Chain A
């Protein structure tokens, strides 16, 4: 995994190196081959030209004519003998042989061509050997027993028919190189037309084995191969080392430092500062370093914020607990007063809310009952609830009139209420011995009252404004009576406004139904019944508001 980059890089480098190497050697070899061939070609034609100078013009004309004639004769032996025994002819052959040996040629031969025959050939005749357009004047092969003699005819290889024809007609040597695979390796041949008065009189052929090509090309190739291989290898090594140093090793380092950062508890990779390549890799390295520092700062910050959040959460839990503890929660609250059956409960929603209930004895025969709901939720509502509850209880101690208590508390709350918080309050003071009750309502839900025999009924009492809305509001008092076996039920809007997942509200009708289900129930059972019904109604929907209830029953003793 970690070596992959280096392997990739070096593979490509080696591949390219080999390619460059092969191309270099190929081109070099080809050029070398061409130059040697050109050299031999030049030598062959010079040799042919030299051989042609051995003949005088007269000899050229005479012997070429004789050769033509001889080739057409039925018995040419007399004519042939005349030429071959001519001392001048014998001397020329000796010269040619000397020349052949001096240039290391295989063969030097002089011939004329019957152009009519040359251009009328068939494959069958060529293959059968009956088509023989060449007529030899002299042939000096290196092994003399294979020599053609004066007047002998010979065939021309397929490939050279055109060349030969063209050379005879134009009197110029062919531009193409004639290379054949001889018994001594590659031979190069010259096909040299000897021209007099603008006409080709005869042809001189020279065949030279390209010995140097065999030997030198091999040597050249071997030397070139080794040199190129060494050069390529050095180049590869330098490039590889250079890349390894400037690219691969910094990247590997960055990669491993990034891994370390993750594994070693976010330890900043100081090594990243050492990358000084002055290119994108340095940028990458610096960016990574910056990112690591950024991540650590972010984590620190997050840790701090989370800790803060946890602290606030914990404090909020304590606040909720303090708030809940402010509500009387020991039942029965007045064990000596057997005629009173009081039960209350508050089920807070997710957040700290503003619901509260309260009950307390003003004297031996007077019980104050409070049910209230502060606008909104959360810490502001909870704080406002604490203030309201305290003020109400405080005022109730010195004054027995609910109307006056509410008016006073309203003004007190309005003294500093920039947030326009308000609280709905139902406040009643009951004479325990008679069940007579004086109450006032500051924007709170209607109370529910059960007579001695019948069921619970909604008391549509006279409402005043909520507390905290504005100063100097007036409230009205009214009287109620809770008979023996009667019961007063107080609640906050969380009960009738409990909502199911279809957005339907529980409502006062269902509340009355739940309360009247068990006429003989004591306060505790009553509240549990209502809670159960509300829970059934709401089902899986989340609880939005606090559920707060208070029931006071007068028991006959």
Chain B
């Protein structure tokens, strides 16, 4: 999986490509844990994300909880496969998807 982080002021855009699964989720979690300190607006760009497993969902969920306390978080460019997974798990209710 490829991760790309782009800062603009207090806005951080995280672009993910490939598979966010058991193997790759810890990497994302580790990266995010060091980068969210001064972030007020977090954007996940899922344009090239092919697959998300429950481990990946956990990281997204945990990040949402962190951002709830200090700002906002949204997902953009979510494709149908990923959207279906988010719907099945009920995540669409608590995540902001554009």
Using CB atoms and an 8 Å cutoff, list the residues of chain A in contact with chain B: 354, 373-377, 419-422, 424, 442-446, 463-466, 469-470, 493, 497, 503, 505, 544-545
CB distance from A51 to the nearest CB of B (A): 115
Instruction: Place the interface of chain B in its size category.
Output: 20 to 34
Whether B90 contacts A466 by the Cβ 8 Å rule is yes
Whether B89 contacts A544 by the Cβ 8 Å rule is no
A419 to B55, CA, bound (A): 11
Cβ contact of A442, chosen from B21, B54, B87, B90, cutoff 8 A: B90
> What 4 pairs between A and B have smallest CB-CB spacing?
A420-B62, A443-B89, A465-B90, A375-B58
Whether B54 contacts A493 by the Cβ 8 Å rule is yes
Whether B88 contacts A444 by the Cβ 8 Å rule is yes
Whether A466 contacts B91 by the Cβ 8 Å rule is yes
Q: Which of B63-94 contact A (CB under 8 A)?
A: 65, 87-91, 93-94
Whether A419 contacts B62 by the Cβ 8 Å rule is yes
Q: Which residues of B contact A374 (CB under 8 A)?
A: 54
CB distance from A251 to the nearest CB of B (A): 51
Please name 17 further chain A to chain B contacts, defined as beta carbons within 8 Å, in addition to the given A465-B89, A544-B22, sorted by A numbering. Answer: A354-B54, A375-B54, A375-B57, A376-B22, A376-B54, A420-B61, A420-B65, A421-B58, A422-B54, A422-B57, A424-B89, A445-B88, A465-B91, A469-B61, A544-B53, A545-B22, A545-B53
Question: Residue B13 at the A interface, CB < 8 A?
Answer: no
Cβ contact of B88, chosen from A354, A376, A422, A446, cutoff 8 A: A446
Q: Taking CB as reference atom, which chain B residue is nearest A465?
A: B90
A500 to B91, CA, bound (A): 27
CB distance from A18 to the nearest CB of B (A): 72
Using CB atoms and an 8 Å cutoff, list the residues of chain B in contact with chain A: 19, 21-22, 25, 50-51, 53-55, 57-58, 61-62, 65, 87-91, 93-94
Cβ contact of A469, chosen from B51, B55, B87, B94, cutoff 8 A: B94
CB distance from A186 to the nearest CB of B (A): 98
**A422 with B61, Cβ < 8 A, contacts A463-B89, A464-B90, A466-B91 known:** yes
A464 to B88, CA, bound (A): 8
Q: Which residues of A contact B55 (CB under 8 A)?
A: 375-377
Whether B58 contacts A376 by the Cβ 8 Å rule is yes
Whether A443 contacts B58 by the Cβ 8 Å rule is no
Q: Taking CB as reference atom, which chain A residue is nearest B21?
A: A544
Q: Residue among B22, B90, B93, B94 with the most chain A CB within 10 A?
A: B90
Q: Which residues of A contact B21 (CB under 8 A)?
A: 544
Q: Taking CB as reference atom, which chain B residue is nearest A442?
A: B90
Q: Which residues of A contact B89 (CB under 8 A)?
A: 424, 443-444, 463, 465-466
